[in-house]
Structure 1
Amino acid sequence: MSKTMLMLLFAGFVLTGCNTVEGVGKDIRHAGGSLEENAQEHKPAERQPVRTRTVVYR
């Protein structure tokens, strides 16, 4: 299948789940919220700066 055909098929599935433009907006907002939650769960821990000592030779 061509990419265009796959995109049209996907768009058809998305639009059949949303009857109105408002419904599309709600679905997109929900998907964005899920992505944000997932990103927060997998956020790497902040690293503390490494402390070093300066050695002075006399």
Structure 2
Amino acid sequence: MSLNDRVKVTIRCNNCGERFILRGRKEKGKIDTGFKQCICNNANDFEIETHDF
């Protein structure tokens, strides 16, 4: 596994149920998608699932 592997990330808001499907990069054990907050202004309470390409 290289340092900059791409992953598919599914983020579901636990407040309103909205679901986002994003592409991200896995770097040093962290995943960066650029996602900041849900449309309901929730910035903390999410269910996050990752899938390798």
TM over 0.5: no
Task: Name the one with the larger helix percent.
Answer: 1
Q: Which has the higher contact order (CA 8 A, sep 6+)?
A: 2
How high is the TM-score relative to the length of structure 1? 0.21
How high is the TM-score relative to the length of structure 2? 0.22
